[in-house]
Copies of this chain bind each other. A is one copy, B any other.
């Protein structure tokens, strides 16, 4: 699997090619951390930052929050809250869907979206 830091570095370097707004320093400032820290995060010298910083990074770099969080080994706290509200229900559902292929899960998503509940 690709690391979180590597992904951030790739995203940032792509953007920095045609804008001076995406140096380590600028991005670090935008998300509210020290440049040296972001540098270390990108080189994976330190573990990924907190959820708040990861979400800020996703916004700045135009990436998907949930994907970046997953690369960092985390799950968005709003999802956790939803599960914690009804632990038995969601635990059973998620464990069942573990073995199902993407298209099957996607079908359910659509069903919920369009369905007349």
Which A residues have a C-beta under 8 Å from some C-beta of B?
64, 66-67, 69-70, 73-76, 78-80, 82-98, 100-102, 104-106, 108-109, 111-113, 117
Of all A-B residue pairs in the complex, the 7 with the closest CB atoms, nearest first, are A70-B87, A66-B87, A66-B91, A70-B84, A96-B112, A82-B98, A104-B117
Beta-carbon contact of B96 and A113 below 8 Å: yes
**How far apart are the CA atoms of A103 and B5 in the complex, in Å?**
42
Beta-carbon contact of B83 and A94 below 8 Å: yes
Q: How far is the CB of A110 from chain B (nearest CB, A)?
A: 10
Beta-carbon contact of A83 and B75 below 8 Å: yes
A86: nearest chain-B partner, CB-CB: B102
Residues of B within 8 A of A111 (CB): 108
Q: How far is the CB of A78 from chain B (nearest CB, A)?
A: 8
**How far apart are the CA atoms of A105 and B64 in the complex, in Å?**
26
**How far apart are the CA atoms of A69 and B75 in the complex, in Å?**
16
Beta-carbon contact of A96 and B109 below 8 Å: yes
Residues of B within 8 A of A79 (CB): 83, 90-91, 94-95
Beta-carbon contact of B89 and A105 below 8 Å: yes
